[in-house]
Amino acid sequence: MITVQQAAQLARQASWDLASLPEEIRNDVLNRMADTLEQNREKIFEANRLDMEKGREEQLAGPLLARLLMDEKKLAGVVKGLRDLMRLQDPLGKTLLSRELTDGLDLYRITCPIGVLGIVFESRPDALVQIASLALKSGNAVLLKGGREALGTNEVLFSVIDEAARSAGVPEGWAHLLRTREDVTDMLSQEGLIDLLIPRGSNAFVRYIMEHTHIPVMGHADGLCHVYVDESADLAKAVKVTVDAKTQAYAVCNAVETLLVHEKIAPAFLPALKAELDQKNVELRGDDGVRGIIACETATEEDWQTEYLDAILSVKLVSSLDEAIGHINRYGSHHTDAILTENMENARRFVSRVDSAGTYVNCSTRFADGYRYGFGAEVGIATGKLHARGPVGLEGLCTYKYVLIGRGQTVAETMSDSFSYTHRNTDTPCPLA
């Protein structure tokens, strides 16, 4: 067994090859992965049966067991995901900018892989294939660490896709499966070898990673999303969207946790909303203003800071749009926040001033998702502000470089008073991409 540092070194080596691996080969690998996963179905199910047995012995909660399961249906989903990814446009070698600097000296900005990724994910074996295939399609090498409970299944899945990749000419080191918590710790110190860490998991875990590494981290620590019901909201729409944002799923990062209601619409809106939410057994926690209109628990300062991930909604009256925006920017997690309004100037102010990856108008926060955005699979939802925000798919796993192609030009030649740059943008794709 090689060390994490050795794996990272191999990944770094492999990353140069991956950066120039033609699209046809990368897609061929995805195709082979799909085929060999189908061929090895029994081996995969058998490994998963053992993981599931152990999980039951360890009395894992129902939802965790459901995630851990790899059955016919999930494998079919994984295989379909690979074939869909194959058909997605190549994210590499796209010319983002094309500019003549001076006669015969042309600047291009082209997309390229980031290099080496380190991704930690939950006990969901389908995630292993999804993440490894996203990395491969985007030309990145990857160190993978899945949840402990899924290790048996992950080892089989990994050996199957690794074989498929290697048989198509992908270099050793393109992906490596980490096994232990100590491996993750070791990974955090591989600066210079790993370019980006993407931790998925609990808030506490993501924060731990951010605080213990100098490698850039992309991830979201919280999903504390808001819905603001503006004075001018359409009542029926507002009830419908709020109910969806809270109840369509609970344990998800894009569910609403705090509802802000303009005091002028509250007397009409809150009773209508409560009638709907009572039917779904959602607990409401309101401030004094809210409790003056409907009966509910009392919300405290802590409620505004809490991502319930449960059938609980905190509710606060506000006297203005700006108070709502202020609350969201103070307590929110910069994930996704929605305004329900028929006043487009208010919508515009909300959109420009709310500092979140997603600012929504008259629709449910639950739409914040790579699949729903049409990005194909996603590696996560970023709540940082740099590089990529919101759902991160292939594009977020790429960066760019500048290519400058000349005929022997020097800067010395440009220092005369008579020289000036043309800086003429063109539509020419980079001839070396």
Footprint of its own copies on 310-369 (CB under 8 A): 325-326, 329, 340, 344, 347-349, 351-353, 355-364, 366-368
Q: 381 near 199, Cβ under 8 Å? A: no
Q: Does 407 bind its own copies (CB under 8 A)?
A: yes
Q: 189 near 197, Cβ under 8 Å? A: no
Q: Does 31 bind its own copies (CB under 8 A)?
A: no
The CB-of-303 to its own copies minimum distance in angstroms stands at: 20
CA 364 to chain centroid:
18
Instruction: Find the binder of its own copies among 24, 412, 416, 417 (CB under 8 A).
Output: 412
Residues 149-168 that bind its own copies (CB under 8 A): none
In the complex with its own copies, the residue whose CB is nearer, 308 or 350, is 350
Q: What is the rounded radius of gyration, in angstroms, for the C-alpha atoms of the chain?
A: 25
Residues 173-212 that bind its own copies (CB under 8 A): 195-196, 210-211
Q: Does 84 bind its own copies (CB under 8 A)?
A: no
In the complex with its own copies, the residue whose CB is nearer, 177 or 354, is 354
Beta strands in 223-335 (DSSP E): 225-229, 256-262, 283-286, 297-298, 312-318
96 exposure class (CB count in 10 Å sphere: 0-12, 13-18, 19+) = exposed
Q: 217 near 209, Cβ under 8 Å? A: yes
Q: What are the strands of the beta sheet with 312-318, ordered from one edge?
A: 297-298, 283-286, 312-318, 256-262, 225-229, 336-340
Q: Does 408 bind its own copies (CB under 8 A)?
A: yes
Residue 263's SS3 state is: coil
* CB within 8 Å of 149: residues ≥ 6 apart: 51, 54, 55, 58, 60, 64, 68, 123
Q: 245 near 366, Cβ under 8 Å? A: yes
Q: What is each CA distance from 108 to 15, 343, 368, 403, in whole angstroms?
A: 22, 43, 33, 5
In the complex with its own copies, the residue whose CB is nearer, 151 or 357, is 357
Instruction: Find the binder of its own copies among 7, 8, 47, 112 (CB under 8 A).
Output: 112
The CB-of-90 to its own copies minimum distance in angstroms stands at: 13
Q: Does 389 bind its own copies (CB under 8 A)?
A: yes
Q: Does 378 bind its own copies (CB under 8 A)?
A: no
In the complex with its own copies, the residue whose CB is nearer, 157 or 313, is 313
The CB-of-210 to its own copies minimum distance in angstroms stands at: 6
Which range of residues in 27-35, 63-71, 269-277, 405-413 is near its own copies by CB under 8 A?
405-413
Residues 271-300 that bind its own copies (CB under 8 A): none
Instruction: Find the binder of its own copies among 423, 426, 428, 429 (CB under 8 A).
Output: 423
The CB-of-352 to its own copies minimum distance in angstroms stands at: 4
Residues 224-253 that bind its own copies (CB under 8 A): 234, 236-238, 240-241, 243-245, 248
Output the six-digit token pair for 54: 């152990």
Orientation of helix 4-19 relative to helix 181-188, angle to 10°: 60
